[in-house]
Amino acid sequence: MNMGKSDQATAEASAGVTQAEVEARSALERAAELAVALGVNLDTFMGAAYAAFLRANPGLRRDIEDVQLLAQVRELRRKGGVPEA
């Protein structure tokens, strides 16, 4: 099924997608089209998009770092490298 942009926007709105999400998706689609036109590979594009998202949302970056740190501490404790208090 091939929907036009206005049809797709209407379908997304009825599915509970916010206008901000529609605009973000549209911006990402334009960025992806540009990346493809410039010959950027998928891994580079995805890495850049992820890094940009984390730069724009420092709280999420801190949350991810906290989860990673806790996982590392648990692994060190499991191996006997860090005693429990």
Segment 38-60, tens digit of pLDDT: 999 999 999 999 999 999 999 99
pTM for the full predicted model: 0.61
Predicted confidence (pLDDT) per residue in 21-37, tens digit: 999 999 999 999 999 99
Residue 22 three-state SS: helix
Calculate the CA dihedral of residues 17, 50, 42, 21 and round it to 10 degrees: 10
Q: Where are the alpha helices (DSSP H) in 1-85?
A: 5-14, 19-38, 42-56, 58-78
How is residue 23 written in tokens?
């605009």
Which residue is associated with the tokens 């992820």? Answer: 50
Residue 1, pLDDT > 60, answer: no
Domain boundaries, the chain: 1-40
Are 59 and 52 in contact by the 8 Å Cβ rule? The answer is no
> What pLDDT is stored for residue 81 in this prediction?
81
